[in-house]
Amino acid sequence: MTNNHSFQLFSSLSTKTTPINSSKLNHQTKSLSPTNATNTTTTTIIPQSYQINNSSNNDNNIIDPSSLYSCDDIECEAGGVCIENIFSKLSKNQKSSMNNDHDHHHYQQQQQQQTNERVRCKCPLGRGGQFCEKIIEVKLPHFMGSSYLALPTLRNAHRSLKINIEFKPESYDGVLLYSGQETNLDGDFIAIIITQGFIEFHFDCGMGEGIIRSDMPIILNSWNTINIFRDGRNAWMQLNQGQQIFGHSKGLFSRITFRLETFLGGSPNISRIMNRINVNKGLIGCVRQLMINDRQYDLYNDTIDGIDIGQQPKK
C-alpha cells in the first residue's frame, strides 16, 4: 500500500522530517532554536508541490517529476545530463501548431507526458530511471525522439553501400540513420529519415544532393523493412513490399567520404543537421536489425556511445 504525502511551501512547519535522497534533490535545511526551549527543532523546507511517495515495499523515495522545476533541483547519476523540457513551457497554441494530421494522436500522448516532466535526466547507454539510477539491459533498443546510438565510422563504403533496417516507428517523423564528412552534414553524407510518414534517402557525393522518396508510407506501430543500395551516384530504395525507387546525386563525383560515426535513431545535436535533412527530432520507436554491407550490427555491443536508449516496452 502506498501513502502519499504532499508538502506545501511555508504552509506548515513540521518537526518530523521525511528522509529524502540528498544525492538527487538539493534542498536547504534550516535549524530554528526557540529562545525558551531546551531542545532544538529542525525544520525541513521543501520547494512547493514536491510529492514524496513512500511505499512499504520500497524504501526509496520516488519524486513526482512535475514537482521538479529546475536542473538545480536534481543530480543525475552515472554521467547523465539534466535537461529542462522546453516542451513543457510552450503555450497551448504553440503545442497545437506542432501537430500534423498524421500523428496528432501520438503528439497528444507525448504532450501530456512531456508537459508533466519539466526537467529530466538524459541517461547514457545501459542506464535508465528518473535519475539514471537504474542499470538496464538493452536487447531491443527503444528510441524516444531525443535518443541516438553511435556506431563506428563506415569503412569500405565510399563507392558502394547496402543498408537494411528493420524498425517499428511510433511517429511519422524522425531520423533513422546518418553519417558523412562533417558534423553539420556539409559536403559528403548519407541520411535516412522519416518525414510525414514516408522514407527518404538523402545522399551527396560532394557536388549536390540526391533524394529518393518511398512510394508508400510506413506502417505505424508495426515492423517495417527498408532496403537501400547505392553504387556511385546511383541508388535505389525499397520500403516493405513496395517498388524499388531509383535516383541519383548531382554532379560527376561518385565517392562519399565518411569521417563521422554512424548515428542510428537520432543525433547528439539535432539542430546542427536539421537544416540539411529538414527533420527536427530522432526516431520514436524501436530498431531490431541493422545491416550495412552484409555486416549485421549488435545494437548494444557494437555501439561506441548512446543516449536515452531504453528497452522496448513489453506489450
Choosing from 48, 73, 98, the residue where a domain stops is 73
pLDDT category at 2 given cuts 50, 70, 90 is very low
Residues 154 and 220 in one domain: yes
Q: Which three cell numbers stand for residue 3?
A: 501513502
Q: Which three cell numbers stand for residue 303?
A: 555501439
Average pLDDT over residues 290-310: 94
Residues 146 and 132 in one domain: no
User: Taking CA 6 as the corner, what is the angle to CA 76 and CA 84, rounded to the nearest 5 degrees?
Assistant: 30
Residues 121 and 149 in one domain: no
DSSP assignments along 1-68, one per residue: -EEEEE--TTT---SSPPP--TTTB---EEEE--TT-SSPEEEE---TT-EEEEETTEEEEEE-GGG-
Identity of the amino acid at 257: T
- Each residue of 18-70: pLDDT tens digit? 444 444 444 433 333 444 444 444 333 333 333 333 333 444 445 555 555 68
Residues 91 and 31 in one domain: no
Indicate whether 249 pLDDT > 90: yes
pLDDT at 113: 47
- Each residue of 110-148: pLDDT tens digit? 444 444 567 889 999 989 988 999 998 888 999 999 999
Domain count, the chain: 3
Residues 105 and 33 in one domain: no
Residues 133 and 167 in one domain: no
| pTM tops 0.75 | no
Residues 222 and 246 in one domain: yes
Residues 113 and 170 in one domain: no
Residues 267 and 160 in one domain: yes
Nearest to 58 by CA among 133, 118, 167, 124: 133
Residues 218 and 285 in one domain: yes
Please tell me the distance from the alpha carbon of residue 105 to that of residue 210, in angstroms, as a whole number.
33
Residues 258 and 291 in one domain: yes
Residues 183 and 305 in one domain: yes
Cα atoms in the Cβ-side hemisphere of radius 13 Å centred on 180: 23
Residue 63 belongs to what domain range?
2-73
Indicate whether 223 pLDDT > 50: yes
